[in-house]
Amino acid sequence: MTYKKIAAAALLTVALAGCQSVVASNPSSVLVQYDPGMYDPAKMAAMAQEECQKHGKNAVYTSTIPTNGFSLPTASFRCEK
């Protein structure tokens, strides 16, 4: 039983390592946090675009907020018409 729990935890860790997710969104901007070692820039841009489209706008990459040693970097997108 313990082996199964360890294996499940290991698989979950690997699956989450490649995550990128929207951490904030409003009509004027979107923030997408990502793992720099395992992210897909096209997917990240598509995620931001999907959020901006909710407001009839397009996502434009503006900058990356670097890690502070305790968090993952975050890409910033501006939503504009």
Flag whether 48 is in a domain.
yes
pLDDT in tens, 29-50: 999 999 888 889 999 999 999 9
Flag whether 70 is in a domain.
yes
pLDDT at 55: 97
Taking 90 as the threshold, does the pLDDT of residue 80 lie above it? yes
Which residues span the domain enclosing 44? 19-80
Q: What is the CATH number of the domain that holds 58?
A: 3.30.1360
Number of structural domains found in the chain: 1
Burial class (CB in 10 A: 0-12, 13-18, 19+), 73: middle
Query: Cβ distance 25 to 33 under 8 Å?
Result: no
> How far apart are the C-alpha atoms of 13 and 27, rounded to whole Å?
33
Q: What is the pTM of this model?
A: 0.74
pLDDT in tens, 49-67: 999 999 999 999 999 998 8
> How far apart are the C-alpha atoms of 81 and 71, rounded to whole Å?
31
Flag whether 4 is in a domain.
no
pLDDT at 59: 98
